[in-house]
Amino acid sequence: MAVPKLQKNSGKKSLFPQLCNFIYLIPSLPNQFIYTKQKKVYSIEDVKSYEQQTKEFLKYSSATEINDAEALRNVLRFHEYRYYVISEPLLTDYDYDMLYKLLQEWEKAHPENIPADSPTQRVGSSLNKDFPKRQHLVPMLSLDNSYNADDLVEWDRRVRESTGLDEIMYCAEPKFDGASISLQYEDDQLVAATTRGDGEVGDDITLNAKQIRSVPLSASFSKYGIAQIEIRGEVMMNKQSFASFNEGLAGEGLATLANPRNAAAGSLRMKDSRQVARRNLEAFLYNVSFERDKTADNKQKPTTHSGMLQMLWQLGFKSPVKEMKVLKGIGEVIKFIGEYEESRDSLAYEIDGMVIKVDSLELQDKLGMTSHHPRWAMAYKYKARQAESVLIGVEYQVGRTGAVTPVAKIKPVQVSGVTVGSISIHNEDYIKEKDLKLGDKIIIERSGDVIPQIVRSVTEDRTGKETEIIFPTTCPVCNDALYKPEGEAVWRCVNINCKAQVVERIIHFVSKDAMDIKGFGEANVRRFYEQEIITDIPSIYHLQEDKLQGLEGFGQKSIENLLVGIEASKTQALHRIIYALGIRYVGETTAKTLAQVITTIFELKDKTIEELQVVDDVGVKVAASLHEFFANEDNIHMLEELQNAGIVMERAASTGTAEGKFTGMTFLFTGTLAQLKRSEAEADVEAHGGKILSGVSSKLTYLIVGADAGSKLEKAKKMTGIKILSEEEFLKMI
């Protein structure tokens, strides 16, 4: 049971604060971690110093208080780097904007002293080195920000003055809080997708963008007389996908991400584009930044921004036509954005404000741009939903893989209609980074309706009575010593018989994506475990009906349903059994891949770490974890018990036995396929009687090579008798 315990006073210091600092924020993005580590842009001392300076500058109420503007620029550069380059922001957008405005105000008063590299003189920050670079057709600018009705009225006044009009037609739409992207289409075909980068040049992430289903691979722009077009938008992970993505991370014993924006930005930069497809991303396209017409007098295309969004919608893009509204004058705009804010929590995805654009494209041209933002658009930032509370205590929960997660207990407080009483504070380093103490006054924020988080502790209000949070050295449930592997952020209980882990493993085993035993559910598992009706995973299959009888709220019908569910689970597919075992790092996808290369689960017992790594998607970390699991006698004993209880541990007969033109031939796919999904390609082979192999060997007939193929291709080249084909050649064969 995950019985949480209150904080006691004894503990150990982390040996790896800076390493862990980076790991826990981006656990699934090892490339970025390596990049951060190698680049060493800011040392841990720098981070501390900038955080201190940030706090100081945030206290300033006017630019007249500034005596070192370059220090403020460096603070802003530091936060840009955290946000744009490594996707690990340390500041809320609102606070960043406040500092930015402060510098703008100072520079306005001292125009002779603005260096060319001031954060106000450019967009974005230095580049991420990993992907090929690509130039935007038009620089990707930012937006000017407003925070209240007065700001909007003032902007409207400027727009009316510049255009000489009494009243302007505006288009208001959500300000999507994701990762920005630009798409280029030529002759109706998608030719490139690029991240924002420094605004001029971004990372070419075309392959990754193609994995997002809402990005059309082709669209009939020619119908509108358009030959070439560049479209801007935002890639988003919706709240629900984000919640299950985080659940998956937690389930695999990894630290979770703070918000959907980080998840979307990280996903776009993944090296393996196939992984992107699994992340359920969506792309909202909201602006046409460049277009070239087929003929000089093109009359077919829209003349307003809202018309452009309609056109994009017609062409199959997810443009915000349902969300946008065309409004007459700034008064209507102010009313609309106020109303929209009320529905913010019920949206499927995160927005952080609204964007108001002058609707007429002719007027937009007339108004033009500054070096930072267009004059025809204005972002209206909604206030972060923050509240003040007090940190009362810390409880420690033990998960399925033994990970010990500290959970802050706070004085219950309402944030956008929901009462928050506890907040995950991730791990020991997070506590240090946020400088949290028991008794602290804290500011909390709800990022969407998903996860509340602590923004900061109000250190300036400390009374001296606050006490250190000391991470426990022993498991709060079984009392065994906790252990933290080098380079990891999470303390673990390594006693696999720890009751907390056992019950969490049973919950995972019966869950929907695993064995899917209907009628169980988390609450029942906990209850049956406490009453010793079940004691471990195999005991599920020896459950005695009479022990269930008489349980409050668990009638005959419930008992029958549960028993039917248990019986049905005995013939679940092999990959579900592998996933259900809850082996660290083995998620659903890896379980599926593994199930394809074995016929019975016991084969995994005999594979070495090297042999396991031959399997697609299995790296050294996963292989080592599998090896550790299957080397443990207790685990093998459990599998035997399950087999004796009637669970089918074998893969259902493969379709590879079908007769066809590939009968007697073997295939292996490597690298990223452009047109087919790996699973589809493999199904095609099997449907034609061929067999899929898991590695390059003398038994292999064909190696089909996609983009960025690596060691398998090299190995096959050195061997005789293996035919190496491109994806195109394979498609011709089938």
Closer residue to ligand IVH in complex, CB, 35/286: 286
- Please report whether residue 682 would count as binding ligand IVH according to CB under 6 A: no
Query: By CB neighbour count within 10 A (0-12 exposed, 13-18 middle, 19+ buried), where does 657 fall?
Result: exposed
Closer residue to ligand IVH in complex, CB, 266/582: 266
Give me the sign of the Cα torsion angle 144, 148, 152, 153: negative
Task: Tell me the CB-side half-sphere exposure of residue 461, using CA atoms within 13 A.
Answer: 12
Active site residue 40: no
Q: For residue 1, give every residue at least 6 positions away whose Cβ sits within 8 Å of its Cβ, in sequence order, or none.
A: 477, 499, 500, 503, 526, 529, 530
Q: Quick one: which segment of 168-176, 414-422, 475-483, 709-717 binds ligand IVH (CB under 6 A)?
A: 168-176
List Cα–Cα distances, 205 to 193, 197, 274, in angstroms: 6, 11, 13
- Please report whether residue 180 would count as binding ligand IVH according to CB under 6 A: yes
- Please report whether residue 203 would count as binding ligand IVH according to CB under 6 A: no
- Please report whether residue 232 would count as binding ligand IVH according to CB under 6 A: yes
Options 287, 364, 590, 625; binder of ligand IVH; rule CB under 6 A = 287
- Please report whether residue 219 would count as binding ligand IVH according to CB under 6 A: no
Q: Are 290 and 344 in contact (CB under 8 A)?
A: no
Provide the minimum distance between the beta carbon of 192 and ligand IVH in the complex, in angstroms, as a whole number.
Answer: 17
- Please report whether residue 374 would count as binding ligand IVH according to CB under 6 A: yes
Options 69, 86, 377, 378; binder of ligand IVH; rule CB under 6 A = 377
Q: How many CB atoms lie within 10 A of CB 463?
A: 8
Strand 189-195, strand 179-186: pairing: antiparallel
DSSP string, 624-656: HHHHHHHH-HHHHHHHHHHHHTT---BPPPPGG
Residue with smallest beta-carbon separation from ligand IVH:
180
Q: Quick one: which segment of 310-318, 373-381, 498-506, 667-675 binds ligand IVH (CB under 6 A)?
A: 373-381
Options 136, 175, 274, 434; binder of ligand IVH; rule CB under 6 A = 175
Determine the Cα–Cα distance for residues 359 and 80; give it in Å rounded to an integer. 31
Query: By CB neighbour count within 10 A (0-12 exposed, 13-18 middle, 19+ buried), where does 724 fall?
Result: middle
**Core vs surface per residue 515-529: b (16+ CB within 10 A) or e:** bebebbeeebbbbbb
- Please report whether residue 363 would count as binding ligand IVH according to CB under 6 A: no
Closer residue to ligand IVH in complex, CB, 85/379: 379
Catalytic: which of 13, 40, 48, 175? 175
Provide the minimum distance between the beta carbon of 101 and ligand IVH in the complex, in angstroms, as a whole number.
Answer: 14
Provide the minimum distance between the beta carbon of 375 and ligand IVH in the complex, in angstroms, as a whole number.
Answer: 10
Residue window 462-501: x/- pattern of binding to ligand IVH, with contact defined by CB under 6 A = ----------------------------------------
Options 86, 90, 168, 379; binder of ligand IVH; rule CB under 6 A = 379
List Cα–Cα distances, 616 to 500, 593, 594, in angstroms: 33, 7, 8
- Please report whether residue 84 would count as binding ligand IVH according to CB under 6 A: no
- Please report whether residue 36 would count as binding ligand IVH according to CB under 6 A: no
Q: Which residues in the 122-151 window bind ligand IVH by CB under 6 A? A: 141-143
Options 176, 491, 520, 528; binder of ligand IVH; rule CB under 6 A = 176
Local structure of residue 218 (DSSP, 8 states): B
Residue 297 phi, psi (nearest 5): -110, 70
Q: Measured in Å, how far apart are the chain's first and last C-alpha atoms?
A: 53
Closer residue to ligand IVH in complex, CB, 355/577: 355
Residues found near ligand IVH in the complex (CB under 6 A) = 141-143, 173, 175-176, 180, 232, 234, 286-287, 355, 374, 377, 379
Active site residues: 175
